[in-house]
Amino acid sequence: MNNRDTLYSTPVETIGDWVFNDEIVKVFPDMIKRSIPGYSNIISMIGILARSFVKPNSNIYDLGCSLGAAALSVCRNVSAPNCTIVAVDNSPDMIRQLRQYINNIKTKLNIVILENDILDIEIKNASMVILNFTLQFLKPLSRLKLIQNIWEGLNPCGILILSEKFSFEDSKINKLMSNMHYHFKLANDYSKLEIIQKNQMLKNVMLTDSISTHKTRLQKVGFVHIEIWFQCFNFGSIIALK
């Protein structure tokens, strides 16, 4: 599945809110590659981090797993015995496609795929939890609850990987980063029309936080060792260690 994303290359008569439906799923790998700077680096390094943090007889959670890129990166890099990856997403179309893909490949770790709201998932015996561009789609009031659940279910010395699009408290920096991202998408052959229409669809659905907001939230639930390990423009990833 490697279809070119041309979904919004022509004017959309009625622009609603963004939904991860079947038409998005069909072009998702291309869309992510051309929209999120550094995405492939983050996915690769999640696997590398997993080598150090995933322990035998533990669980790895990929919350908001979409098509399972992060979970599969862990699978490619970890051979610890008796480990299970729990991949969760609330999009039926994403989950259906992921199940079809997983059924056709061999993986070193057991993968459990769940179509569910990540807020309803019990985190337990976790050596690694991945939130890869997921938290930004939750309602702001639900974000602390999820991070608290992760903290409680994460084993000592476990790791949370939190990748997000960031907003910036300095308005000039925020504008600069947004402008750099805009030109990144233009350089990846998205038209101005495509960029505008996607932004309109996402504006009520993807509500970003500043880096300091993320860090404060993580500290509030108990994380002490917190830092950005990757950033490109207004996209980045934070590690939090228990």
Say what the pLDDT of residue 1 is: 55
Angle at 218 between CA 212 and CA 221, to 5 degrees: 140
Which residues have a Cβ under 8 Å from the Cβ of 63 and sit 6 or more positions away? 88, 118, 121, 129, 130, 131, 134, 146
Structure confidence by residue, pLDDT tens digits, 114-130: 999 999 999 999 999 99
Confidence of residue 106 (pLDDT cuts 50, 70, 90): confident
Say if residues 15 and 201 touch (Cβ distance below 8 Å).
yes
Q: For residues 222 and 148, what is the distance between their CA atoms, to the nearest angstrom?
A: 8
Confidence of residue 93 (pLDDT cuts 50, 70, 90): very high
**Across all residues in the chain, what is the average pLDDT?**
97
Contact (Cβ atoms closer than 8 angstroms) between residue 122 and residue 55: no
Reduced to 3 states (helix: H, G, I; strand: E, B; else coil), residue 189 is coil
pTM of structure: 0.97
Domains of the chain: 39-167+205-241 (3.40.50.150)
Binding residues for S-adenosyl-L-methionine: 39, 64-66, 89-90, 117-118, 132
**Number of neighbouring beta carbons within 10 Å of residue 2:** 8
DSSP state of 120: G
**Cβ(191)–Cβ(162) below 8 Å:** no
Give the pLDDT confidence score for residue 117 in this predicted structure: 98
Q: Which residues are annotated as a binding site?
A: 39, 64-66, 89-90, 117-118, 132
Q: What's the pLDDT tens digit per position in 120-170?
A: 999 999 999 999 999 999 999 999 999 999 999 999 999 999 999 999 999
Across the range 89-107, mean pLDDT stands at: 95
Give Cα 102 to chain centroid, integer Å: 19
